[in-house]
Structure 1
Amino acid sequence: MEDRLSPSSANTRRANRIVWERPVLIVDPVRASGKTINVSAVGILLSTDRHLNLPLGAEIALSIPHLEGRDSMVVHGKVVRVERTAQDMRVAVNIS
C-alpha cells in the first residue's frame, strides 16, 4: 500500500485527517462491521472484511455508535477508494 503522505507522493487529500478509531456498522448496501481508521471534514477511511463487495461509486450508509453507547449516528456517502490487504479491506468514503 502506498504511503500517500511520503515526500515522494503527491498528496491528493482535500482535507486534513485525524486518527479516529471507532466501531462502525455498514448498513447499506451490505450489512457488515468495521472500524474507522481516520476521518476528515469530507470523508472517512474504514477497515472491514476483505471479502466484501463494495465497488467504487457505491452509495454507502454507516452507523457510528455514540461514545457513551446510547445512540448512533448514520452517515451517508460514496465509496471513492478500495484497497485490499492480506488482513482487511480499506474503504475511503466521501461523506455527502
Structure 2
Amino acid sequence: KGRSLTARKAETIREMVSGGFRLDLLLETARLARSTYYYQLKQLDGHDKDEETKGEIQEIYYEHKGNYGYRRITLELRNRGFVVNQKKVQRLMKLLGLSSQIR
C-alpha cells in the first residue's frame, strides 16, 4: 500500500529474476534503469528509521483517546525525549491514519 509504480515494478522484477528470467530483458521491458532497480531493492529491504517514533505517536494518540492532534503530540514527544519536528509528526500521523477528533 502506498508504494510507487517504480517500487512495484522493482518488486515484480525481483520475483521474476528468482524465477529464472534474465534481468537485462526484464529491465528493458519494464523501461527501468538498472541503477533505479537496485535503488528500489535497497529501499524495499531497508528498515524504517521512524519505527520508534511511529510507535510512540500511536501510544500517545490512544493514551489520550484520539483527542490530541499533531501539535500536542509533538509537545508530548519532546517531553519524552524525542527530537522531532511538528511537520514530521503531522506526516507520520497522516501515514498512520491518525487524526484528532474535532469537538
| TM-score, reference length from structure 2 | 0.28
**Higher alpha-carbon Rg:** 2
**Greater strand percent: which structure?**
1
| TM-score, reference length from structure 1 | 0.29
